[in-house]
């Protein structure tokens, strides 16, 4: 009986993300009122992108997650 072939797990390549935080560069803070900008950091299924994927610093990532939750409760963004 021949040996089974081992398959390598394919790694999904993500698009390159800028390493500079958009909010730090513009000195802005995330706001639930600007839901068009917040929707850029949501997947098709409504999940928040990680810091690796969004390119935002830790401070603004936490603030952005809170603001996305506010916008969801107000019905501006999908759950």
Q: What is the CATH number of the domain that holds 69?
A: 4.10.640.10
What total of structural domains would you count in the chain? 1
The answer to whether position 57 is within a domain reads yes
Q: What is the DSSP letter of 64?
A: H
The answer to whether position 79 is within a domain reads no
**Confidence class for position 50, pLDDT limits 50, 70, 90:** very high
Contact (Cβ atoms closer than 8 angstroms) between residue 49 and residue 41: yes
Q: What's the Cα-to-Cα distance from 61 to each of 2, 8, 10, rounded to whole Å?
A: 51, 33, 29
What average pLDDT does the segment 21-28 reach? Answer: 92
Q: Residue 28's domain spans which residues?
A: 22-73
Q: Which residues pair with 48 in a beta bridge?
A: 42
The answer to whether position 28 is within a domain reads yes
What average pLDDT does the segment 13-37 reach? Answer: 85
Q: Is pLDDT above 70 for 20?
A: yes
The answer to whether position 59 is within a domain reads yes
What is the chain's mean pLDDT, rounded?
87
């Amino acid at each position: 009986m021949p040996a089974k072939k081992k398959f390598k797990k394919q790694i999904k390549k993500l698009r390159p993300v800028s390493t500079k935080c958009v909010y730090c560069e513009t000195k802005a803070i995330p706001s639930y009122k600007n839901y068009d900008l917040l929707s850029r950091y949501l997947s098709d299924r409504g999940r928040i992108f990680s810091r690796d994927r969004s390119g935002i610093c830790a401070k603004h990532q936490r603030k952005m997650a809170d603001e996305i939750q506010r916008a969801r409760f107000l019905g501006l963004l999908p759950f």
